[in-house]
Amino acid sequence: MRKVFDAVKFTLDTLEISISEQLGHITVRDDYDVVGADSFICNYRLASGIDSGVTTELNAVPDDLHPYHPHECVRKVLNGTVVLIAVPRRRNDSPDKSVKEVSKKESPAEVEDRLEDTDGEIVMMRNFFVKTCRPEFEVSEIVTQELRDNITWWGDVVLQAIKRIIYA
């Protein structure tokens, strides 16, 4: 579990590098704040250029240090969470048998022994809400589609980066 958590944390810590390398969009992290060492709660802003030449700003909030310029870039708001769950791998069962079917033939102690976490798997669940705010300048339909697709590609880049770290 710790290896996967560290991979997720490292990937999110270096998200701008992964996006720049994988998508070719020059991405810069502006403001960064993390709460807690064992948990990972963070707040940051990313500024990124996309292929059409439009610049996007992620999680832009009004502040004096890094002001948002709606006449120059498209604002995206992203709120998300990643949850990691350890799932024990069942032993000596065919993959199509459910726990309920197997437990009809086994005592509760046998089920518990079988479900012990010897070679467990880690399940990563992620949920993100993304909103693209209307800019104060004209944006073509093609650019609008690129903006929509771009955020999906970011999710793919994150997942690939995590897998590369875990399986390295």
Mean pLDDT, to the nearest integer, of 1-5? 86
| pLDDT at 148 (0 to 100) | 86
Are the beta carbons of 45 and 31 closer than 8 angstroms? yes
pTM of the shown model: 0.66
Residue 130 confidence (pLDDT): 84
Q: What percent of the chain has pLDDT over 90?
A: 7
Tens digits of per-residue pLDDT, 6-51? 888 888 888 888 888 888 888 887 766 666 666 566 667 788 888 8
pLDDT digits (tens, 9 = 90+) for 123-144: 889 888 888 888 889 999 999 9
| Other beta carbons less than 10 A from residue 146's beta carbon | 17
